[in-house]
Structure 1
Amino acid sequence: MRVVVTRPEISAAKTAERLRLLGHDPVLLPLSKAMHHPQVATDALALPHSALIVTSAEALRALANTDYSSEIGRNIQLFAVGEKTATAANAAGFGNIHIGAGNGTGLADLIASTLDKPDLPLLYLAGKPRAGSLEGRLEELGLPVRVAEIYEMIPVEYPPEEFYERLRTRPPQAVLLYSRENALRFFEIVERHALSFTETKILCISTRTADAVPAAFRAHLRIAESPDENALLALL
Structure 2
Amino acid sequence: MARVLVLRQAPEAAETAEALRARGHEPVLLRLAETVALDAPAPQGEVAGFVVTSLQAVPALASAFPGDPRPVLAVGERTAQALSAAGFPSVEAGPGTSEGLVERAGVIAAAAKKPLLYATGRVRLPDFEAGALAAGVALTVWEVYDLVPREPKAAEIDTVFQDGGPNEALILSVGQAEGFAGFWKRFGASAPGMPRLLCLSARISRALGPELAPFAWISPQPKLSSLFDRFLPPSLDYGGRK
Q: Same fold (TM over 0.5)?
A: yes
Instruction: State the Cα deviation string for residues 8-43 of structure 1 (Å, max 9, x = none).
Output: 132111100111111000000022121112x32x33
TM-score (norm 1): 0.88
Conserved in 2, the CA contact under 8 Å of 1:3 and 1:26?
yes
Unaligned runs of 5+ in 2: 233-242
Match of 1:27 in 2: 28
**What does the per-residue CA deviation read over 1:166-197, in whole Å, with 9 as the maximum and x for residues that have no partner?**
22222111000111221111111111124347
Moved more, 215-224 or 142-151: 215-224
Instruction: Give 2:3's aligned residue.
Output: 2
Q: Is contact 1:3–1:176 with CA below 8 Å preserved after alignment?
A: yes
The answer to whether the aligner puts 1:209 opposite 2:237 as a matched pair is no
> Are the counterparts in 2 of residues 197 and 217 from structure 1 also a CA contact under 8 Å?
no
Tell me, yes or no, if structure 1 residue 147 matches structure 2 residue 141.
yes
Query: Pick from 151, 160, 168: which aligns with 1:174?
Result: 168
Distance 1:164 1:90, change over 3 A: closer
The more displaced of 112-121 and 95-104 is 112-121
CA displacement at 1:113 relative to structure 2: 3.8
For the 8 Å contact 2:200–2:224, the answer to whether it is kept is yes
Q: TM-score, normalised by structure 2?
A: 0.86
Map 1:110-125; keep pairs closer than 5 Å. 110-116=104-110, 118-125=112-119
* 2:181 and 2:212 in contact (8 A); partners too: no
Q: Could you say which residue in structure 1 is the equivalent of 2:96?
A: 102
Q: Which residue of 1 aligns with 2:53?
A: 55
Q: Which runs of 5+ in 1 are unaligned?
A: none
Q: How much has 1:47 moved relative to structure 2? A: 2.9
Measured after TM superposition, the shift of residue 98 of structure 1 is: 2.1
**SS of alignment partner, residue 124 of structure 1:** strand
User: For residue 127 of structure 1, what is the aligned residue in structure 2?
Assistant: 121
Q: 1:206: Cα distance to partner? A: 1.0
Kept after mapping to 1: 8 A contact 2:48/2:108: no
CA contact (8 A) 2:180 2:208 kept: no
Q: Per-residue deviation at 1:50?
A: 1.5
CA separation of 1:201 and 1:141: change in aligned 2, threshold 3 A: same
Deviation of residue 56 (structure 1)? Answer: 1.5
The DSSP-based 3-state class of the residue aligned with 1:227 is coil
Q: CA RMSD in A?
A: 1.9
In the alignment, is the contact (CA less than 8 A) between 1:117 and 1:143 conserved in 2? no
Q: Is the 8 A contact 1:124 1:145 kept in 2?
A: yes
CA distance in 1 between partners of 2:205 and 2:113 (Å): 39
CA positional deviation for 1:230: 0.9
Contact 1:198 1:217 in 2 (8 A): no
Is 2:46 aligned against 1:82? no
Aligned to 1:190: 184
**1:63 shift after superposition:** 3.2
Aligned equivalents of 1:127 and 1:34: distance in 2? Answer: 9
Distance in 1 between the 2:69 and 2:98 partners?
23
Residue 120 of structure 1: how far off its partner (Å):
2.3
**Pairwise CA distance, 1:81:** 1.1
C-alpha contact 1:118 1:143 (8 A) present in aligned 2: no
Who is 2:42 aligned against?
43
Matched residue SS, 1:157:
coil
